[in-house]
């Protein structure tokens, strides 16, 4: 994803999956697609390791945009199903991104923030 100019918001969602898989993948894919259609959506990144611990960070222009996404009916149903079936534990944090930078191999080996 391209780097938006701070300040903006990050929703850091850390979760531990149960062994119950029914519908998880398709719902996760659908939530990514649906989130991308919401006002203020700036992008998202997700990783889950073999131990079942996953981290999804989504980025939003404002707190109001995060609140509106939270009220989305389909998203509410997905969250309810998550608590019923898919998650053993989760943590959600809302954080204001103050600065950001990126590096890629083509930039060469020097520290981009030196």
Site stretch for its own copies (CB under 8 A), options 19-27, 32-40, 83-91: 83-91
Q: Using CA atoms, how far apart are residues 53 and 60, in angstroms rounded to an integer?
A: 23
C-beta closer to its own copies: residue 22 or 91: 91
Nearest CA to 56 out of 20, 29, 96, 18 is that of 29
**Bond before 97 cis per omega within 30 degrees:** no
Torsion, Cα of 17, 20, 23, 27 (10° steps)? -10
Site stretch for its own copies (CB under 8 A), options 2-10, 20-28, 29-37: 2-10
Nearest CA to 52 out of 18, 83, 23 is that of 18
Applying CB under 8 A, the site for its own copies has a residue count of 44
SS3 40: coil
Nearest approach in angstroms of CB 42 to its own copies is 11
Question: Considering only residues 57, 61, 68, 72, which one is a binding residue for its own copies as defined by CB under 8 A?
Answer: 57
Regarding 25 and contact with its own copies (CB under 8 A), the answer is no
- Binding stretches for its own copies (CB under 8 A): 3, 6, 10, 12, 14, 18, 45-49, 53-55, 57, 70, 76, 79-80, 83-84, 87-105, 109-111, 113
């Amino acid at each position: 994803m391209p780097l938006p100019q701070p300040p903006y918001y990050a929703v850091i969602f850390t979760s531990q999956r149960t062994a119950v898989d029914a519908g998880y993948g398709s719902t996760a894919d659908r939530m990514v697609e649906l989130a991308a259609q919401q006002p203020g959506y700036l992008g998202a990144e997700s990783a889950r390791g073999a131990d079942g611990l996953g981290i999804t960070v989504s980025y939003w222009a404002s707190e109001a945009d995060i609140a509106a996404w939270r009220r989305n009916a389909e998203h509410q149903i997905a969250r309810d199903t998550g608590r019923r079936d898919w998650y053993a534990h989760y943590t959600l944090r809302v954080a204001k991104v103050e600065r950001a930078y990126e590096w890629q191999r083509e930039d060469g080996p020097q520290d981009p923030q030196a």
